[in-house]
Structure 1
């Protein structure tokens, strides 16, 4: 009974430990930490809990681990407690600063133990700025350099949010300076735009400029309050501004922007209800202004958020309607307010807890407002219409001169490229090839290209044709640089063993560096260079094959024998298990890839595709093609095969009878002699068979831009490897999947603060009559959610079936045939066959295989097998 009680208590303690957020560990070389995911959160609807209450065991169990980097509770009247544990492993006595970076938090209470007593600090935007310990926008608290600390924070207000950061004092001051510089530039832009348009208003007396200036200054003050600058520099001893002042400036922003819209878009001259709706917006804006003066902030904050969204929609729709009327200033209007209102919408939604809080959502209003200031200033200037007729006449005369210049340049370029064995074609905006194409293009494309479209000349299919015309539209729009776009066009043409490389050059409109009049397509015959590159690549593959076959003669000879056996079995057992056949060919393909025999591996890939589609006619023809290619390969490489067989004998892999007879004379006990023969000639250390996979890992890793270190260690386990041959061959899939699915790229590992080089460890353990092989990597791990989605997508499992499987057992589904998390099939993985093959071979040996995985920590396979001698 006592044992059961101890087990229950240990389980309960373990469960509670997992339910808590991890502590923040202060380490050498790191000067800042985001605290959101290290917080335990407790909601107190009554607001009556004290620090002693929440630190007691009764309430400590009710804290919930934070799942967000910036927990956002939106509009709430509850109090919220956050618990944080710090473990200091730094050797110096450097102090840290905790900062609450939501500048509109009404009330904040900070608790930290000082000599067994709780030290309490109260602050928030309801308090005067001069009461803060750190004279900066954020609410900051000094953390002494102790080894272990327990900290509590309590917040309350109309809108509640934890945006907590932990930084060294130096880091905090440096970051605050950078933020001040960034916002200083932004508010400087606001002031510059205001003064620029205000002086225009003084000279033009235009109402549009007046309302625009009012909008710019009121919106600037609104952002200054929201970002904490008004409290720090404009109204340090006036807490009312941080709350009701925000809704007051928001109301003025709504009113001024609405009046600006009415004047700028000339709504008084338009029929319909647009004017009525915008006048209603003005009334709502006045209501927001009045409520901010006479009503509490808890009410006005909801009013200005809801009103802002409504006014946003009406104003944007108004601009859109005027744009549909082809009123040109409206184009600038919807573009400008599309950006700024998008930013405001994100800001309001974040304040209401509708969307998560992050760097982009916090700065969305600033980004949008910056673009809006620029576009609206351009729009106001555009209202001063230039003389249209003069522009039209200038354009007509210019078009004539431009056509002459184009023809002149075309002739010049034509004479140049004809001498370079290159062809060129001039393409207009519709993708049609104009007169003047060089004669050699007829040879390149087997057609006279003049008057035809590029898709017709290049024989593009429907999908590529659509992509081409979209590409042409973007080129002639001139919105993006030509150098960035030209790589997206057709890059080559292949026909009759000829390879033509395509390049493009723009002909700009005179006086412009962006507007394009025509495009020159330059065609270069690269057939000779491509053939030479292919030959060099083939020679490289042949050299690699020879090296690997002579370095691993036993594996090479086994591969040829196993291939011939599989072809024979297929021809005489066509009605066998197709799944088993699929697995055998898949393993065979991986082994050919190990020797860099890509032609044979590709032929097996075609067999796999035919089996997967149950295309039985193509299966037979594909196997026949593979059989013929294999026979031709063995014939061409007869000397290599003979050399590999010779190496088997010379390196001791074949039994030498005279040596065995000679050794027998030195043994008196027959049992000792039999044991010697087993160890020296019949049994092999299983560990050495896995060492051949190291070059394979290096090769795949290099192709995928990864760096991986393979460690193979453990006990010496002597077995008859012939009995394990199918298992050893199928184990190649474990290594290929660890490289392809598991280990991240070097850049991705650096971002995750992992060592730049990945690791795969293989450990062999002997336990009497059995052996254990442990393979593990330190990669990205297996995502259970992704496995579930793929299982449902491929129809292997239903949602109801998956709901009964525990998360820790979900990873076992990687052994299911046909299940792969890869989006596309590659020569390395993607068919969902490899792991199935490994499991089957383990089961044939009466063994077991288990898998466990943790996201961003890695995956571990444990294989238990009997010792077969």
Structure 2
């Protein structure tokens, strides 16, 4: 970059260029002003000559007219003998003399003066003869007057007068034409010379300005390049063939390497190829071919905003420059993403610690059950994969339930591991055991790997709460097994006929107290789902009132009812994921923004009834029919014969879900199947009620075995 350019970049003006430019503009203005003044002056002069030419020409014709008029007055007077025509004759003569004088003033030249003198001489003779004619007429000598006018002297002077008058007119016209031609030529020459001067000066000024603009443009491009290269962002252009333009910022090389220009943009962003690359390329071509601004905005909104390329997280922004060019703004957000992930991980760990403190006993019990489940599964597999069928379905339900329960406790690592195991089990259930991609030596349930993942979750608790947190036992005076043993002994004594009646009453009270020590409150157990449903709602962007539990309280035997209580995680998850609508949708339907999930417990002579309801959108019956048809479980004819009650019960069919695709929270179609299995194991039944836009209610009818009515 030159010194002047550097000065301009730093804000110091080029004074020599400005002064030269000012002088050039001043000269141009003066030259143009002089040319305009001369044009106006010449135009006015030509107009003046035109007017004088008209006056002179009119005067020459007036000269002839007045002379002829005087002759006519004399002839008429002679012919008619009327002496009154003399008055007209005398009035015309001064006008004739004035015309001759005006001609001499307007065209002062020797030739004009000579002709005017000759005309005057002839006029003098003619006037004398005509005056004599009027004198004769006054004396009554009409014939003599007529003879005088017809005589040679009068006729000759009249002819000479007419000839010299025509000569004067022709001379005047000739002089005027010459002067007009001269003025026109001079004006044309001045116009050409002035135009050439303005053209040359304009060309010089334009050339100078163009050079200044080119230099400024170069300086601006250098400044922009400097700015872009130091902005920490990648800027690149791609043409209609999606090839990268050579003009790009330096950050692009830091992101993609030294060879960027000429490469395909989809290849740079998707170096591994595949469907995503082709889809991205097709979207860009469609964007550049589209003319409608609204559709362009929609296409841009569908393009990826973030990619992971060359071990970097990239944020992408798109600007359509023209139908043949698109600009991509790339920002390396790796540090930001990693920091956010670290913050999220820390948030997960803290949430897990808080949840563990709030649900210590339940969490420790669930961890023991999970570890026992993994150990039993490992022994059963013995290195062989179970065949497709009930064994895999049962395993699937167990894994799905444990995943939901651990998500309720907000464990950071194990739910994700179980989710990947579910994927392998789903493939196995479809007969594609060899397609299982879960870690752990090809096992469907990689117990060793899952225990390693579980140890990471435990380590979070140890790091935050100390090792004693996991080693501590339940906060009871005796173990649950001891309590259960005492209950069994008391029950046997009660059923023995050898026990006296007065002792039986005491045993009944003792048995009731033992059960109350070991049994759990159903309301308290359901209340632990309040945090879970609120977290589900927050993740889904939905608003939810606190979980409302009402009705009777019941104490249940955890050994009997724990599988059922844990399976309810799927009911609560479905209520949030499938039932409760987004706030905007609820407002459109005339509902409050926040949804409501309620639990109601009712004692009955046969046992108890648990109802879980929501005020959401209800079950999509048509969507459920379509899913059942696609699964092959029922034919179209069989589905048509089902009433609404029968159709609603199909939500418990394995593998059926109305979700568009599976994720960590929904879509497998095995959650409600696990609920149904748990209720069936207790000997209970289920009823589902649903109404469009009013909500869904799941009612569980459970027998009286294994619980206390308080």
SS of structure 2 residue aligned to 1:424: strand
Residue 673 of structure 1, CA deviation: 5.4
Q: 1:702 aligns with which of 524, 538, 542?
A: 538
Q: Which residue of 1 aligns with 2:234?
A: 423
Q: 1:744 to 1:466 in 2, by over 3 A?
A: closer
Q: Which residue of 1 aligns with 2:455?
A: 631
Give the distance between the partners of 1:730 and 1:406, measured in 2 at CA. 71
Residue 794 of structure 1, CA deviation: 1.4
| Relative contact order, higher structure (CA 8 A, sep 6+) | 2
Q: Which residue of 1 aligns with 2:378?
A: 571
Please give the per-residue CA displacement for 1:188-244, whole angstroms capped at 9, x wherever unaligned: xxxxxxxxxxxxxxxxxxxxxxxxxxxxxxxxxxxxxxxxxxxxxxxxxxxxxxxxx
The question of 1:474 aligning with 2:287 is answered yes
Give the distance between the partners of 2:327 and 2:510, measured in 1 at CA. 81
Residue 864 of structure 1, CA deviation: 1.3
SS of structure 1 residue aligned to 2:560: helix
Residue 557 of structure 1, CA deviation: 1.0
The question of 1:744 aligning with 2:581 is answered yes
Give the distance between the partners of 1:455 and 1:646, measured in 2 at CA. 55
Q: Which residue of 2 aligns with 1:461?
A: 274
Q: 1:449 aligns with which of 260, 274, 278?
A: 260
Give the distance between the partners of 2:702 and 2:592, measured in 1 at CA. 33
State the TM-score, normalized to the length of structure 1: 0.49
Q: 1:483 to 1:747 in 2, by over 3 A?
A: closer
Residue 641 of structure 1, CA deviation: 8.0
Is the 1:781–1:855 contact (alpha carbons within 8 Å) kept by the matching residues of 2? yes
Please give the per-residue CA displacement for 1:483-540, whole angstroms capped at 9, x wherever unaligned: 7664444433423432222234455xxxxxxx56643323222111111111111111
Is the 2:233–2:330 contact (alpha carbons within 8 Å) kept by the matching residues of 1? yes
Please give the per-residue CA displacement for 1:670-700, whole angstroms capped at 9, x wherever unaligned: 4265146325412222221111111111111
Q: 1:610 aligns with which of 424, 438, 445?
A: 424
Q: 1:808 to 1:721 in 2, by over 3 A?
A: same
Give the distance between the partners of 2:570 and 2:467, measured in 1 at CA. 29
* 1:50-65 alignment, distance < 5 Å: none
Q: 1:735 aligns with which of 572, 582, 588?
A: 572
Is the 2:283–2:299 contact (alpha carbons within 8 Å) kept by the matching residues of 1? no
Give the distance between the partners of 2:519 and 2:299, measured in 1 at CA. 63
Q: 1:843 to 1:470 in 2, by over 3 A?
A: closer
Q: 1:491 aligns with which of 295, 302, 305?
A: 305
* 1:516-555 alignment, distance < 5 Å: 518-555=325-362
Please give the per-residue CA displacement for 1:695-746, whole angstroms capped at 9, x wherever unaligned: 1111111122222232111112122122111111111111101111111122
Is the 2:657–2:667 contact (alpha carbons within 8 Å) kept by the matching residues of 1? yes
Q: Which residue of 1 aligns with 2:73?
A: none
Is the 1:686–1:721 contact (alpha carbons within 8 Å) kept by the matching residues of 2? no
SS of structure 2 residue aligned to 1:577: helix
The question of 1:808 aligning with 2:645 is answered yes
Is the 2:690–2:697 contact (alpha carbons within 8 Å) kept by the matching residues of 1? yes
Is the 2:317–2:330 contact (alpha carbons within 8 Å) kept by the matching residues of 1? yes
Give the distance between the partners of 1:765 and 1:572, measured in 2 at CA. 42
Q: 1:636 to 1:778 in 2, by over 3 A?
A: closer
Give the distance between the partners of 1:687 and 1:653, measured in 2 at CA. 24
Residue 415 of structure 1, CA deviation: 1.3
Q: Which residue of 2 aligns with 1:63?
A: none
Give the distance between the partners of 1:657 and 1:623, measured in 2 at CA. 33
The question of 1:580 aligning with 2:394 is answered yes
Q: 1:599 to 1:483 in 2, by over 3 A?
A: same
Residue 763 of structure 1, CA deviation: 0.9
More off after superposition, 673-682 vs 743-752:
673-682
Is the 1:414–1:424 contact (alpha carbons within 8 Å) kept by the matching residues of 2? no
The question of 1:693 aligning with 2:507 is answered no
Q: 1:641 to 1:590 in 2, by over 3 A?
A: farther
SS of structure 2 residue aligned to 1:437: coil
Q: 1:411 to 1:521 in 2, by over 3 A?
A: farther
Residue 747 of structure 1, CA deviation: 1.4
Residue 643 of structure 1, CA deviation: 5.1
Is the 1:606–1:622 contact (alpha carbons within 8 Å) kept by the matching residues of 2? no
Is the 2:237–2:327 contact (alpha carbons within 8 Å) kept by the matching residues of 1? yes
Gaps of 5+ in 1: 1-401, 508-514, 662-666
Is the 1:778–1:857 contact (alpha carbons within 8 Å) kept by the matching residues of 2? yes
Gaps of 5+ in 2: 1-212, 487-502
* 1:119-518 alignment, distance < 5 Å: 411-446=222-257, 448-459=259-270, 460-475=273-288, 477-480=290-293, 486-505=300-319, 507=321, 515=322, 518=325
Give the distance between the partners of 1:653 and 1:701, measured in 2 at CA. 39
Is the 1:475–1:485 contact (alpha carbons within 8 Å) kept by the matching residues of 2? no
Give the distance between the partners of 1:668 and 1:403, measured in 2 at CA. 110
Give the distance between the partners of 1:547 and 1:526, measured in 2 at CA. 31
SS of structure 1 residue aligned to 2:445: helix
Residue 815 of structure 1, CA deviation: 0.9
Paired residues, number: 457
Is the 2:687–2:700 contact (alpha carbons within 8 Å) kept by the matching residues of 1? yes
Residue 777 of structure 1, CA deviation: 1.5
Residue 431 of structure 1, CA deviation: 1.6
Please give the per-residue CA displacement for 1:756-780, whole angstroms capped at 9, x wherever unaligned: 2222111111124511111122211
SS of structure 2 residue aligned to 1:863: strand
Q: Which residue of 1 aligns with 2:694?
A: 857
State the TM-score, normalized to the length of structure 2: 0.59
Please give the per-residue CA displacement for 1:616-666, whole angstroms capped at 9, x wherever unaligned: 3535446323232123433453464855557764588967999xx9xxxxx
Q: 1:519 to 1:769 in 2, by over 3 A?
A: closer
Q: Which residue of 2 aligns with 1:562?
A: 369
Q: 1:819 to 1:504 in 2, by over 3 A?
A: closer
Residue 799 of structure 1, CA deviation: 1.0
Q: 2:562 aligns with which of 719, 722, 725?
A: 725
Residue 411 of structure 1, CA deviation: 4.3
SS of structure 2 residue aligned to 1:818: coil
SS of structure 1 residue aligned to 2:538: helix
Residue 464 of structure 1, CA deviation: 3.7
Q: 1:786 to 1:479 in 2, by over 3 A?
A: closer
Quote the RMSD (CA, aligned, Å).
Answer: 3.4
Q: Which residue of 2 aligns with 1:223?
A: none
Is the 2:645–2:688 contact (alpha carbons within 8 Å) kept by the matching residues of 1? no
SS of structure 2 residue aligned to 1:503: strand
SS of structure 2 residue aligned to 1:613: helix
| Rg comparison, structure with higher value | 2
Q: 1:653 to 1:751 in 2, by over 3 A?
A: farther
Is the 2:266–2:280 contact (alpha carbons within 8 Å) kept by the matching residues of 1? no
SS of structure 2 residue aligned to 1:581: helix
Residue 405 of structure 1, CA deviation: 11
Structure with greater proportional strand content: 1
